[in-house]
Structure 1
Amino acid sequence: MDLNLRKAILSNVSGHNTEQLEATIVDAVQNGEEKMLPGLGVLFEMIWKEASEDEKQEMLETLEQSLQHNQVQ
Structure 2
Amino acid sequence: MDFDLRHAIMQNVANNTKEQLEDTIVDAIQRGEEKYLPGLGVLFEAIWKHSSEQQKDMMLSTLEQAVKQ
Normalised by the length of structure 1, the TM-score is 0.92
| Aligned counterpart, 2:16 | 16
Percent of residue pairs bearing the same amino acid type: 62
> CA–CA distance in 2 between the matches of 1:14 and 1:3?
18
Runs of at least 4 residues off by over 6 Å: none
Larger radius of gyration: 1
Q: Deviations over 1:26-54 (max 9, x none)?
A: 00000011110010001000100111111
Q: Which runs of 5+ in 1 are unaligned?
A: none
Shift of 1:23: 0.3
Secondary structure, aligned partner of 2:45? helix
Q: Deviations over 1:7-34 (max 9, x none)?
A: 1101110100011000000000000111
Q: CA RMSD in A?
A: 0.5
Normalised by the length of structure 2, the TM-score is 0.97
| Aligned counterpart, 1:68 | 68
Higher relative contact order (CA 8 A, sep 6+): 2
Secondary structure, aligned partner of 1:27? helix
| Aligned counterpart, 1:56 | 56
The answer to whether residue 42 in structure 2 is matched with residue 35 in structure 1 is: no
Shift of 1:3: 0.7
Q: Which runs of 5+ in 2 are unaligned?
A: none
